[in-house]
Structure 1
């Protein structure tokens, strides 16, 4: 089933949680890692709506929650970027590491921890890319 972003964002988040947990490489990469991530899709020239925020909680190699979040949701790490960049990332046209390094996405949190857990982040992104997603804008 194709999910639309941003209209189906809540269902998309739920699907993402399942896809993350289906990835054996994620379980290995995220073992003994507890963290909460905030992923934010921001308005840009292509999409002028409200920001869409996903909160993703990890504990001991599993995604325990993936849901829509408020702007003030507590998190350890955040990745924020314009809608157009998210479309490219989720479509596989952007590499997550390169897009963070070149400033396409703003990242907040302990950089050393993120570097050590880069494989877990890459697996989360790969899980997101595996969702059949249609972009409304």
Structure 2
């Protein structure tokens, strides 16, 4: 997998020749708004070596080709996708763009990652409770606590 890679912070619609080496930090299924049993898309948050993140989407038409090709906490080289302004999408990453997989998209797993994964961006609970507004790009998960 030799070669140079682009950075997620530089994404724009002026070129279609992006090539990223990224981790899949989070992957989830977005259900159809009318038929709740039907998966509408597979959504993910990708992170590059600089820690920049972007949301990516595998639309329903891409399930056959890419539906099971991306797993959380694994590194990939991805290229040939469509860059879209995500004004109407949920904001799971701070980047204003989203990457949409197409039939031309390639996803190559990286067997020996070249940089460490840093999937979590922790905030203390007091900061979250006192915030006037929480940034939409914060992913909040369930935490189990035990007291001894």
Name the TM-score class by shorter chain.
Answer: under 0.3
Higher helix share: 1
TM-score (norm 2): 0.27
TM-score (norm 1): 0.28
Higher strand share: 2
